[in-house]
Structure 1
Amino acid sequence: MSSPKGTFMIVTKRHSLRIAAVGVISAASVALAGTAATAATPAPHPVSVSAAGPQKAVAAAAKITAKPSVNSVKAWQLFRVTGTTTGLKAGSKVTLQQKQRGHWVALPASTPIARNGSYSLGVKLGLKGKNELRIVQGTTVSPVFTVTVR
Structure 2
Amino acid sequence: MRNNRRSLLRTTAVSALVGSVLLIPATAALAAGSGPEPQPLPAQQAGVKPAAATLTVKASVSHVRAWQEFRITGKATGLKAGSKVTLQQKQRGAWKALPASTVTNTSGSYGLRVKLGIKGKNELRIASGATVSPVVAVTVN
TM-score for the superposition, normalised by structure 1: 0.63
**Which 4+ residue blocks in structure 1 deviate beyond 3 angstroms?**
none
Alignment of 1:41-52 (within 5 A): none
1:144 and 2:129 correspond = no
Matches within 5 A, 1:70-85: 70-85=61-76
2:114 to 123, 136, 139: 123
Provide structure 2 residue ranges, at least 5 long, that are not aligned to the other structure. 1-30, 32-44
CA deviations 1:73-99 (Å, max 9, x no partner) are 011111001111100111111000000
Q: 1:38: which partner in 2?
A: none
Superposed displacement of residue 106, structure 1: 0.3
Q: Deviations over 1:36-95 (max 9, x none)?
A: xxxxx8xxxxxxxxxxxx526531210000000000001111100111110011111100
CA distance in 1, matches of 2:65, 2:88: 19
73, 95, 103: which one aligns with 1:104: 95
Note the residue ranges of structure 1 that are not aligned, 5 or more in a row. Answer: 1-40, 42-53
Residues 15-54 of structure 1 mapped to structure 2, 5 A cutoff: 54=45
Q: Secondary structure at the match of 2:88?
A: strand
Q: Among 65, 69, 77, which residue is 2:60 paired with? A: 69
Larger radius of gyration: 1
Question: Which residue in 2 is equivalent to 1:90?
Answer: 81
Q: State the identity as a percent.
A: 65
**Aligned residue identity for 2:90:** K
Q: Normalization by structure 2: what TM-score? A: 0.67
CA RMSD of aligned residues (A): 1.7
- The CA distance in 2 between the partners of 1:56 and 1:87, in whole Å, is 18
Report the counterpart of residue 132 of structure 1 in structure 2.
123
Counterpart of 2:13?
none
Instruction: Measure the CA separation in 2 of the matches of 1:81 and 1:56.
Output: 37
Matched residue of 2:80: which SS? coil
Count of aligned positions: 99
